[in-house]
Structures are given as C-alpha cells and as structure tokens.
Amino acid sequence: MDLISEDDAALLVVYGKKGKPKKFLVKVKRGKVLHTHKGSIDLSEIIGKEWGCVIETSKGERVEVHKPILTDYIEKIGRATQIIYPKDAGFMILKSGIRPGDTVVEIGTGSGALTMVLANFLGRSGRLYSYDIRRESLETAERNLRLLGIDNVVLKHKDAKEGIDESNVDAIFLDIPDPWEILPQVHERLKPNGPFLAFLPSCEQVNKTVLKAREVGFGLIEIHEILDREYESDERRTRPAPWMIGHTGFIVIGRKISRS
C-alpha cells in the first residue's frame, strides 16, 4: 500500500474565500512546518497516512493532502517561467499521433513543461531528444525530470539549426520563436508522413510558419488556438469564472509529404 513517506512530494491544499484553493507543493520532512495564512501545518503529521487524507492547520482549518500529478508540477513551474498549459500540451500530443514507444524530437526545451508531458506519454520504451541553446534551461529541465523520475529524455545543448542528429523521427515539436528557419531540417529528419507541431504566441509567427511549411513540403496544415474556460458551481449557481487566461499560443501542425 502506497502511504505518505518522508521525502515524498505532497500537494497541500487549503481553501480561501469563495472556496478558492491555495496550493503548496512541498517535500515531506519530519519536523518541517509550513506556514500559511490559515495557520501552520506540521508535515510530520502526514507521514504514514494515506494519500487524500484531511488534516488541520494550527488554527483548525481544513487541509487536503494530495499526491501531486504531472500537471501540479507544471503549474508550479508556470509560476516562475513561461510554460505550455495542459490545454495546449494535451491537444498537441493527440494531434501528433504519437504512441508510447515512439522516438520524438523537441526543439526548445524551455522550462521543460512540454518535455515532461512528452516523456511521460512516451513511456520507458520511448525516447525524447530535447534541444536548447540555453544551458540554464537544460539545467532546470534536468532537475524537473529527475524530480519526477523520468529517464527517457536526452537533453542536448545544441542549436538545432546547425543540424538535428536523429533521423526517421516519429514527430518533432517546436517551441522556439522562429520555427520557419528550421523547417527544412525538420522535414528531412521526420519519418515519411511524420508531423511537426509548433507552438507560437503571435499571428505573424503563425503566418511565417504556415507559408514555409507549405513550401518545404507539409500537407494537412492546421492552425489551432485552444482556450480553457473555468467555471464555478455551488448550491446557488453555476457560471464561468470572472477572469480567464486570454492567450497562451497558437498551434501549427503539418504532416510531411514527399517532395517530388
């Protein structure tokens, strides 16, 4: 049975006014105390308990103890740097047609959010090669991957424009500002009919990527923007949340066709 142990990561949740959750992603340590605006929480107390247990703060406020999942880690990373959100990452994976065991290339490791999602999806038999030109991105990503026990990723400190080493790749994900510069190499390194998926903040980048993709030899080109509306519901009423994320990025997809 999987009980809470020292050194586990735990997601502690206290609820504020209007039932809004306040989340704390912590490492469980005997003797460690977490201070919140609702009172302090003694982490010793949860060791040996079941995931999903409910405890109380020093002020008697309810605390839920959750076992963090991948999107909880990504949410935490997202507070510090730009990330790809679940709404975007989930859609991209489905539209890429990749399957556990596949070989995938990612250009632009960034914070490693999409890296983690892809690696988790590909499983132990799959392989992800992730390129970035910034050493600090790779270091952050490596730390995050280790935290999650993910070991099927090869991080590469290299400018992919100077060459992608892998070939016959099942899919290539692009999270860089100028993917059009690299689409010829991407086309060359994909397996026949393999897709590229680019994540892009602006209309101008979308246009440049689409035009280059047509020229280089991609078919079934699609452009999507995924929006996530949150709702609130209780005894009194159901309604969309008053604020929402207005924009993260556009997704451009194409599948390799033969040049002939």
Using CB under 8 A as the binding rule, the residues of this chain from 202 to 231 that contact a copy of itself are 202-207, 210-211, 219-220, 222-231
61: helix, coil or strand?
coil
Q: Establish if 243 lies at the interface with a copy of itself (CB under 8 A).
A: yes
* 159 labelled binding-site residue: yes
Q: Establish if 233 lies at the interface with a copy of itself (CB under 8 A).
A: yes
Nearest to 54 by CA among 6, 14, 16: 14
Among 21, 81, 146, 154, binds a copy of itself (CB under 8 A): 21
Among 13, 56, 114, 129, binds a copy of itself (CB under 8 A): 13
> What's the CA gap between 238 and 249, in Å, rounded?
28
Q: Are strands 195-200 and 250-256 parallel, antiparallel or unpaired?
A: antiparallel
- Contact range with a copy of itself by CB under 8 A, out of 28-36, 103-111, 138-146, 188-196: 188-196
Identify which of residues 60 and 246 has a Cβ nearer to a copy of itself in the complex: 246
Identify which of residues 31 and 242 has a Cβ nearer to a copy of itself in the complex: 242
Nearest to 248 by CA among 221, 224, 231, 225: 225
Write down the residue that tokens 């406020």 correspond to. 61
**Residues 30-59 close enough to bind a copy of itself by CB under 8 A:** 50-54
Among 29, 32, 37, 100, binds a copy of itself (CB under 8 A): 100
Q: Establish if 235 lies at the interface with a copy of itself (CB under 8 A).
A: yes
> What's the CA gap between 225 and 202, in Å, rounded?
11
Identify which of residues 85 and 131 has a Cβ nearer to a copy of itself in the complex: 85
H-helix segments, 59-170: 70-80, 86-96, 113-122, 135-147
**Residues 113-142 close enough to bind a copy of itself by CB under 8 A:** 117, 120-121, 123-124
Q: Establish if 232 lies at the interface with a copy of itself (CB under 8 A).
A: yes
Identify which of residues 41 and 206 has a Cβ nearer to a copy of itself in the complex: 206
> What's the CA gap between 82 and 144, in Å, rounded?
15
What 8-state DSSP symbol labels residue 3?
Answer: B
Site string for a copy of itself, 67-86 (x = CB under 8 A): x-xxx--------------x
* Helix axis angle, 113-122 to 135-147, nearest 10°: 50
